C-alpha cells in the first residue's frame, strides 16, 4: 500500500514533460510497479497507453477485440486499486501523464506500431468521425514502419492510408480556422510521402492556404511559387488558378496592389474559362478584398456582389460569411459604422453556425475596431481581450497583434499612455515577426502618437519615417498618410500635418473611403500654421456635429478669431458627448478657457488647472498650461517643470490669448 501511495504521490507531483525526460527514480519506480502487474492487467494498461490519457471503457473493450484479446473489467478495477489508473463509471484515465508515458515507452516499437494500427481500425469501425485521431494513429504506425521496415500485422499500404487521413483531418481544421494545426498535419503527411496525385495536390494547396491564413507570408510566397510551378508542370488548370489567387493575396498583404490585381485577375479569368463557379467565387472574393486597402471601394463591392451570388448558387455558407465580413470592411472604411456592425453580426452568426473559429474571431476583431471608432471603448476592450485570448490559444500571431494594437489605441485615447505604448510595441513586435507590412503600419501609427504624447519627439519622428517607407507600395492607401499627419499635428508641425493630410484626403477621395479624419487633421494643421480662416473652410466639408475631434478644432478656430459664443457652443457640445478622448476634451477645454467670461471663466480655469495635473500628455499639458499662464494663472502644477508647447502649439496659444 505504501508503495502505491508513494507512486501516486510522485507521479501526481511530477511536472516532467511527456518527452521521456523523467527523473530516473520516478521512471524506475513506475517501471517496477508495472512489472508487478498480471499479464492481463498489463495488456489493458498498454492498450490504454496507445489510446491516450483517458477514454471510455467500451473503447478499451472494443480495441482489445480488434487485437484478438480478451477484456475483463476486473483487470481495469485492479489497475484502479494499484493507483496506476482511475475508473469513473463508464470512463477511465491514467492517474498521471507520467504513468502513461512510461507504459508507452516500455513497449517495443514493433508492438507500438501494431497497437496503433489496431486503434486506427477500431476508430474506423466504431468512431469513424474522429478523423484526426485515426490520422494520428495511422501516421504513427507508418512512421514506425518507415523506421523499422516491414512489421507483422502492419499493412504495407499504411502510409498511403495515413496520408489520406492526415489530409482529411487538415481540411477539417481549416474549416474551423485552426490553420496552425492544419499545417502540422500537412507537413507530417508530406514527410510520409506515398500520396496519390490527388491527395498530394490537396496537401500542397492546404499548406499554402494555411500559411497565408496565418499571415506567415515569407514561407507562403515561397510555397505558392512552387505550387504555381507544380501546376504548370502537371497542366492542372484548377491548381494554376488557385496558385494565382494565393499569390495575389500574398501580394496584397505585402502592399503591392498592382501585382495583387494581376494575379487575382488571372485567377478569375482561369476559373471563368473552366466554368468552375465554386473556385471562381473564391477568386472574386479575394479580388474584391484586394480593393479594400488602397484600391476602389466601389470596385470591391462589385466583385463581392458577384462572389456572393456565386456562393449562394453553389450553396457555400462559409464563403458567404466571408463576403459579409469583407463588406463590413468596405462599410467601415467608408464611414458607415452602423452598416459595418450589421454586416459583422451577420458574418459572426454564420461563422458560429459553421463552428469556424477563425472567421468568427476575425469578425469579432473588426467589430472591436467599430466599437472603438464609435466611442464604445469598454465594449471594444472586452472584445479585444476575448479575441486576444483565443488568438494566443491557437498560435495566431496576426490576430493577437491586431488585438494588442486595438487595446493600445483605446488606452491611448483614454490617456493611459504607458499602457498604450507597451501594447503598441507588443503588437509591432508580432507584426515584425511575421513580416506583415500593413500590420506594422497600424502598430507604428498608434506607437508614434504615444511617443508624441509622452514627449519622445525624436522617436515619434523616426516611426513616422518608417511608416512612410513601408507605405510606398500600398498604392492609394491613405491610412499611412493619415497616421503621419496625425503625429505631425500632435508635435505641432502644422505645415507638415496640413500637407500630409491633404495628400491623404486626395487618396481617400480616389478610393471612396471616408475623408473626415483627414480633413480635421488638415484643419488643425492650418490652425497650427496660423491659417485660421483656412481651417474653418476645411471644416465646412466635415460632419462636425458628430465628431468631437472636429468640434474641438472648430472651437479652437472660433476662439482664435474671437467668436467666443460659437467657440463655447462647440466646447459644450464636446463635453456633452459620451466617451470623448482625453485629447479632444483637453483641446476643447483650452478653447473654452480662452472664450469663457465671468464666473464661468474662473470655473473653467480651475477645472483645466486640475485636469492638467493628471494629464500625462506633455504636449497637451504644455499647451494648456501656456494658455492658463497667459490668462494669469501661475499656480498650475507647481511641482511640474514648465516647458513651452512645441511648434505651432505655442503660436496657437498666443492666438487664443494675445499679450495685453
Rounded to an integer, the average pLDDT of 542-571 is: 96
The cell for 195 is 500520396
Give me the percent of the chain exceeding a pLDDT of 70: 94
Distance CA(52)–CA(204), nearest Å, equals 30
Distance CA(164)–CA(117), nearest Å, equals 15
Q: Are strands 54-56 and 85-88 parallel, antiparallel or unpaired?
A: unpaired
Tell me the per-residue pLDDT of 478-534, one tens digit each, with 9 for 90 and over.
Answer: 778 889 999 999 999 999 999 999 988 887 777 777 889 999 999 999 999 999 999
> Model's pTM, two decimal places?
0.82
In which order are the strands placed within the sheet that holds 54-56? 54-56, 91-94, 85-88
**pLDDT grade, residue 36 (50/70/90)?**
confident
190 class by beta-carbon count within 10 Å (0-12 exposed, 13-18 middle, 19+ buried): middle
Strand, coil or helix: 376: coil
Tell me the per-residue pLDDT of 594-618, one tens digit each, with 9 for 90 and over.
Answer: 999 999 999 999 999 999 888 999 9
Residue 415 has pLDDT above 60, yes or no: yes
Residue 660 has pLDDT above 60, yes or no: no
The cell for 30 is 513506475
> E strand or H helix at 513, and its extent?
none
Spatial CA neighbour of 382 closest among 362, 360, 403 = 403
Q: Are 469 and 625 in contact (CB under 8 A)?
A: no
- Under the phi-then-psi rule, with left for phi > 0, alpha for psi from -120 to 50, and beta for the rest, what region is 252? alpha
Distance CA(160)–CA(380), nearest Å, equals 48
Strand, coil or helix: 205: helix
CA distances from 364 to 2, 54, 335, 387, 591 (A): 54, 34, 18, 7, 38
The cell for 575 is 463635453
Distance CA(569)–CA(572), nearest Å, equals 5
Give the residue with greater pLDDT, 636 vs 57: 57
At 507 the pLDDT is: 77
Distance CA(94)–CA(84), nearest Å, equals 6
Q: Are 591 and 627 in contact (CB under 8 A)?
A: no
Q: Are 508 and 515 in contact (CB under 8 A)?
A: yes
Phi–psi pair at 235, nearest 5 degrees: 50, 45
Rounded to an integer, the average pLDDT of 462-472 is: 85
Kindly give, in sequence order, each residue whose CB lies less than 8 Å from that of residue 77, ignoring residues fewer than 6 positions away: 87
Amino acid at each position: 500500500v505504501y508503495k502505491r501511495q508513494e507512486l501516486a504521490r510522485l507521479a501526481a507531483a511530477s511536472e516532467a514533460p511527456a518527452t521521456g525526460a523523467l527523473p530516473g527514480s520516478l521512471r524506475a519506480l513506475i517501471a517496477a510497479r508495472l512489472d508487478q502487474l498480471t499479464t492481463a492487467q498489463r495488456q489493458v494498461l498498454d492498450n490504454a497507453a496507445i489510446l491516450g490519457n483517458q477514454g471510455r471503457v467500451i473503447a478499451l473493450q472494443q480495441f482489445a477485440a480488434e487485437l484478438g484479446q480478451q477484456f475483463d473489467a476486473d483487470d481495469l478495477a485492479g489497475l484502479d486499486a494499484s493507483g496506476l489508473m482511475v475508473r469513473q463509471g463508464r470512463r477511465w484515465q491514467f492517474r498521471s501523464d507520467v504513468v502513461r508515458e512510461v507504459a508507452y515507452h516500455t513497449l517495443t516499437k514493433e508492438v507500438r506500431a501494431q497497437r496503433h494500427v489496431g486503434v486506427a481500425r477500431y476508430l474506423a469501425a466504431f468512431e469513424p468521425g474522429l478523423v484526426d485521431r485515426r490520422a494520428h494513429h495511422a501516421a504513427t504506425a507508418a512512421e514506425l514502419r518507415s523506421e523499422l521496415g516491414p512489421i507483422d500485422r502492419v499493412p504495407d499500404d499504411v502510409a498511403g492510408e495515413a496520408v489520406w487521413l492526415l489530409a482529411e483531418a487538415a481540411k477539417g481544421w481549416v474549416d474551423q480556422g485552426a490553420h496552425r494545426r492544419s499545417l502540422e498535419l500537412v507537413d507530417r503527411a508530406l514527410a510520409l510521402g506515398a500520396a496519390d496525385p490527388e491527395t498530394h495536390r490537396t496537401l500542397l494547396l492546404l499548406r499554402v492556404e494555411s500559411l497565408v491564413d496565418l499571415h506567415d507570408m515569407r514561407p507562403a510566397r515561397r510555397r505558392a511559387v512552387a505550387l504555381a510551378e507544380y501546376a504548370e508542370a502537371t497542366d492542372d488548370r484548377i491548381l494554376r488558378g488557385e496558385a494565382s489567387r494565393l499569390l495575389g493575396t500574398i501580394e496584397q498583404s505585402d502592399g503591392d496592389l498592382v501585382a495583387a490585381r494581376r494575379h487575382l485577375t488571372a485567377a478569375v479569368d482561369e476559373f471563368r474559362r473552366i466554368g468552375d463557379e465554386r473556385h471562381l467565387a473564391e477568386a472574386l472574393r479575394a479580388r474584391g478584398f484586394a480593393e479594400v486597402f488602397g484600391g476602389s471601394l466601389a470596385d470591391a463591392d462589385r466583385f463581392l456582389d458577384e462572389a456572393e451570388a456565386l456562393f449562394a448558387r453553389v450553396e457555400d455558407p462559409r464563403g458567404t460569411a466571408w463576403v459579409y465580413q469583407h463588406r463590413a470592411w468596405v462599410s467601415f472604411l467608408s464611414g458607415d459604422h452602423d452598416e459595418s456592425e450589421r454586416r459583422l453580426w451577420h458574418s459572426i452568426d454564420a461563422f458560429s453556425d459553421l463552428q469556424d473559429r477563425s472567421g468568427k474571431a476575425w469578425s469579432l476583431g473588426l467589430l472591436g475596431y467599430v466599437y472603438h471608432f464609435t466611442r464604445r471603448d469598454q465594449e471594444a476592450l472586452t472584445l479585444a481581450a476575448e479575441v486576444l485570448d483565443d488568438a494566443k490559444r491557437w498560435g495566431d500571431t496576426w490576430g493577437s497583434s491586431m488585438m494588442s494594437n486595438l487595446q493600445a489605441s483605446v488606452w491611448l485615447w483614454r490617456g493611459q499612455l504607458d499602457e498604450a505604448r507597451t501594447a503598441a510595441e507588443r503588437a509591432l513586435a508580432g507584426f515584425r515577426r511575421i513580416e506583415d507590412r500593413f500590420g506594422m503600419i497600424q502598430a507604428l501609427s498608434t506607437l508614434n502618437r504615444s511617443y508624441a504624447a509622452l514627449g519622445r519627439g525624436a522617436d515619434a519622428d523616426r516611426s513616422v519615417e518608417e511608416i512612410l517607407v513601408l507605405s510606398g507600395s500600398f498604392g492609394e492607401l491613405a491610412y499611412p498618410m493619415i497616421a503621419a499627419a496625425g503625429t505631425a499635428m500632435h508635435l505641432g508641425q502644422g505645415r507638415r500635418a496640413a500637407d500630409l493630410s491633404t495628400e491623404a484626403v486626395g487618396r481617400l477621395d480616389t478610393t471612396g473611403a471616408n475623408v473626415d479624419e483627414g480633413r480635421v487633421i488638415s484643419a488643425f494643421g492650418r490652425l497650427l500654421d496660423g491659417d485660421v480662416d483656412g481651417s474653418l473652410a476645411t471644416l465646412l466639408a466635415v460632419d462636425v456635429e458628430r465628431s468631437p475631434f472636429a468640434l474641438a478644432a472648430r472651437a479652437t478656430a472660433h476662439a482664435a478669431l474671437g467668436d467666443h459664443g460659437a467657440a463655447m457652443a462647440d466646447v459644450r457640445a464636446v463635453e456633452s458627448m459620451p466617451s470623448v478622448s482625453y485629447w479632444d476634451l483637453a483641446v476643447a477645454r483650452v478653447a473654452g478657457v480662452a472664450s469663457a467670461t465671468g464666473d464661468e471663466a474662473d470655473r473653467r480655469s480651475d477645472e483645466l488647472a486640475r485636469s492638467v495635473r493628471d494629464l500625462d500628455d506633455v504636449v497637451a499639458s504644455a499647451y494648456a498650461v501656456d494658455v492658463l499662464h497667459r490668462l494669469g494663472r501661475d499656480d498650475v502644477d507647481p511641482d511640474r517643470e514648465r516647458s513651452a508647447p512645441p511648434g505651432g502649439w505655442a503660436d496657437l496659444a498666443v492666438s487664443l490669448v494675445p499679450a495685453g
